[in-house]
Chain A
Amino acid sequence: MILSRTLLKRHSVLPGFDLALGFALLYISLIVLIPLSAAFLKTFTMTWAAFWDAVSSPRVVASYRLTFGASFAAALLNAFFGLIVAWVLVRYDFPFKRLIDALVDLPFALPTAVAGIALTAIYAENGWIGQWLPFKVSFTPLGVFVALVFIGVPFVVRTVQPVLEDVNRELEEAAATLGASRWQTFAKVILPIVLPALLTGFALAFARALGEYGSVIFIAGNMPMISEITPLLIITKLEQYDYAGATAIAVVMLVTSFALLLLINSLQTWARKRQGGV
């Protein structure tokens, strides 16, 4: 009763507002908000100096560098190939297209631990792909990159694909009749339409890669300063009962993710406006 009287902007004949919203708020508080606030409150019990020490020791900084660097590189590769995959799936016909289209979502469905051990086996020195490569992949920072590419594949494809499907073909025809080459049409007509979605997909893949744990730890080798990702460092600190240290790093990661979430939201708003305007 209180909820509908205070929050509802307009009276509705439909029932169940109080029950539905009440339950949703209770559930979200218990499962998400209270536990998440615990992380922030825990860091308030630390002094500033202790917090700063925890989040800026050389080993932690090395892990940031690896996590952010590998995530960025993986998202970049996914942006490039994701655009090609989306293009090919929308524009061309080839055998097993529907099957391949469905399999693009594999990283969403395949548990990360399974992906982790499979990638490790393939890219090991005697693995199916690893044996043909002149350099080591498994148990190096490059392995981290490979795992992060895997988990990021669907993001760019699935954000770009619907936009490409909606591109008005007559714009391309107009460009062609005005004398544009196919490449010019792509670069000056199609790419600007797709760009917001491409950036959104990139940001989503990047954000997902930052927090990834399961697929990375098997292939990374996990050597401190070299191939240790930040989420693993949180677990290491927890296992040493350094709860405050673990939480401090977690808060840094959380703040980064929330900033990214805001960025992604505004990217999506931009994309919607762009699409509406076309």
Chain B
Amino acid sequence: MNTLVAAAPQVPAIGVTPRLMRSATVEAPWVRRALIGAALLFLTLFLFVPLVTVFYEAFKKGWDVYLAAILEPDARSAIALTLLAAAISVPANLIFGVSAAWAIAKFDFRGKNVLLTMIDLPFSVSPVIAGLIYVLVFGLQGWFGSWFIDNDMKIIFAVPGIVLATIFVTFPFVARELIPLMQAQGQEQEEAARVLGANGWQMFWRVTLPNVKWALLYGVILCNARAMGEFGAVSVVSGHIRGHTNTMPLHIEIVYNEYQFAAAFAVASLLALLALVTLGLKFLVEQRVKDQKRAVGDRTE
């Protein structure tokens, strides 16, 4: 933005009144209204109505049905498992994201682009296939399946499999937010910290981390939303054992297929609420991330 404005030549406004210039680069009012109308209609049909429906259907049969649906034991254990899976996979991907970003953004090494591509890989893999590959590795007929069975450890159709599948699908979020920002920030501040006598961890905690905290939070928010909402990958490895290996999305599917629509939408409304909170936080943090990026841009200019 800044460079564009700076590089723009000063146009002398002789002979052209500002009013005329404006009208030549602005659409007719009816075009404007039609475009806004088309955009809003599209978003309403495909986004807003579904969102409202979730809450409407959830409360259609009243508070009692709603509360009963989210407090029944199976629903409660599904909520607990969803929280557990997110509580493990988000920190794991956070640590990975920070270390990958540190290596990629601050050092120049061979194979960097290959690593970058590999980080993006899980986004282009269907969630169902993400589940399938863990079945192939850890399932009964899988590579390590028999070893784990012999040692009395269940991975597939058990909680560890669900956590692994969740880690896979949420893998890139934190790293992708951090890498571009840390690359733009460069190495000078860390080098200064080193010269002034900070050891590695002091430099990391006092210079690097404060510099990227908003982008980090942003990545964590997105990662968490996906971790709690993942359906396809988890569905393949879960085995759908009620009260044991059902996450919230899987619980919704089971209850829905039993035609308990109000109950399904009740649990769904919790996830929809999470989505709204996620969007709200995202909106707040986004501004900070943009400010931080702009600050980097100004410094380098």
Are the chains A and B members of one assembly? yes
A19 touches which of B48, B99, B203, B230 (Cβ 8 Å):
B99
Asked if B25 contacts A38 (CB within 8 A), the reply is: no
CB-defined contacts of A168 to chain B, threshold 8 Å: 4, 8
Q: Which residues of B contact A98 (CB under 8 A)?
A: 283
- Report B196 CB to chain A, min CB distance, Å: 12
Given the known interface contacts A114-B229, A149-B46, A173-B25, the answer about A36 and B53 at a Cβ–Cβ threshold of 8 Å is no
Pick from B8, B11, B53: contact of A128, CB under 8 Å: B53
Instruction: Find out whether the CB atom of A122 lies under 8 angstroms from the CB atom of B49.
Output: yes
Question: At the interface, yes or no: A115 with Cβ under 8 Å from chain B?
Answer: yes
Judged by a CB distance under 8 angstroms, whether B39 is at the interface is yes
The answer to whether A118 and B25 touch (CB under 8 A), given A13-B191, A234-B132, is no
Residue of A109, A115, A254 touching B50 (CB-CB under 8 A): A115
Asked if A110 and B25 sit within 8 Å, CB to CB, the answer is no
> Does more than half of chain B's interface fall in helix, strand or loop, or is it mixed?
helix
Distance between Cα atoms of A177 and B136 in the complex (Å): 64
Query: Does A35 touch B at the CB level, under 8 Å?
Result: yes
Identify which of B68-76, B115-123, B209-217 touches chain A.
B115-123
Cβ 8 A contact of B103, one of A17, A88, A150, A166:
A17
* Chain A residues with CB under 8 A of B27: 182
A153: B residues at CB distance < 8 A: 43, 46-47
Q: A214 with B136: in contact, given A110-B229, A111-B230, A119-B50 (CB under 8 Å)?
A: no
| Main secondary structure on A side of the interface with B | helix
Q: Contacting chain B: which of A49-57, A99-107, A191-199?
A: A99-107
Q: Are the C-beta atoms of A88 and B47 separated by less than 8 Å?
A: no
In the assembled complex, B12 has its CB within 8 A of some CB on chain A: no
Q: A27-B96, A243-B141, A254-B125 are in contact. Are A106 and B171 (CB under 8 A)?
A: no
Residues of B40-66 contacting chain A, CB below 8 A? 40, 42-43, 45-51, 53-54, 57
Q: Does A2 contact B (CB under 8 A)?
A: no
> Quick one: CB contact mask for A115-136 with B, threshold 8 Å, 1 for yes?
1011101100000110000000
Bound complex: CA A106 to CA B225 (Å): 11
Kindly list chain B residues whose C-beta atoms are within 8 Å of the C-beta of A32.
118, 121-122, 168, 171
Cβ of B238 to closest chain A Cβ, rounded Å: 12
The reply to whether A106 and B249 form a contact with Cβ atoms under 8 Å apart is no
Determine the distance from Cα of A258 to Cα of B276 in the docked complex, in whole angstroms: 32
Is B43 a contact of A104 with CB atoms below 8 Å?
A: yes
Number of interface residues of A (CB under 8 A): 97
With known contacts A36-B125, A112-B229, A253-B129, A247–B136 Cβ distance under 8 A: yes
**Cross-chain contact A34 with B137 (CB below 8 angstroms):** yes
Assess whether B83 is interfacial by the CB under 8 Å rule.
Answer: no
* CA–CA, A149 and B108, complex, Å: 41
Residues of B within 8 A of A (CB): 1, 4, 8, 11, 16, 21, 24-28, 31-32, 35-36, 38-40, 42-43, 45-51, 53-54, 57, 92, 95-96, 99-100, 102-103, 106-111, 115, 117-122, 124-129, 132-137, 139, 141-143, 164, 167-168, 171, 187, 190-191, 194-195, 200, 203-204, 222, 225-226, 228-232, 235-236, 248-250, 252-253, 256, 261, 264-265, 268, 271-272, 274-276, 278-280, 282-283
Interface residues in chain A, defined as those with a beta carbon under 8 Å from any beta carbon in chain B:
6-10, 12-17, 19-21, 23-25, 27-28, 31-36, 38-39, 42, 81, 84-85, 87-89, 92, 94, 98, 100, 102-115, 117-119, 121-122, 128-129, 146, 149-150, 153, 165-166, 168-170, 172-173, 176-177, 182, 185, 207, 210-214, 218, 231-232, 234-235, 238, 243, 246-247, 250, 253-254, 257-258, 260-261, 265
A-B contacts besides A24-B99, A33-B118, A150-B50, 4 pairs, CB < 8 Å: A87-B35, A106-B47, A211-B124, A231-B126
Can you sample 18 A-B contacts with CB below 8 Å?
Answer: A9-B110, A14-B187, A16-B102, A25-B115, A36-B125, A85-B43, A100-B43, A103-B51, A108-B222, A111-B228, A111-B229, A112-B229, A114-B275, A177-B16, A210-B126, A213-B231, A234-B128, A254-B125
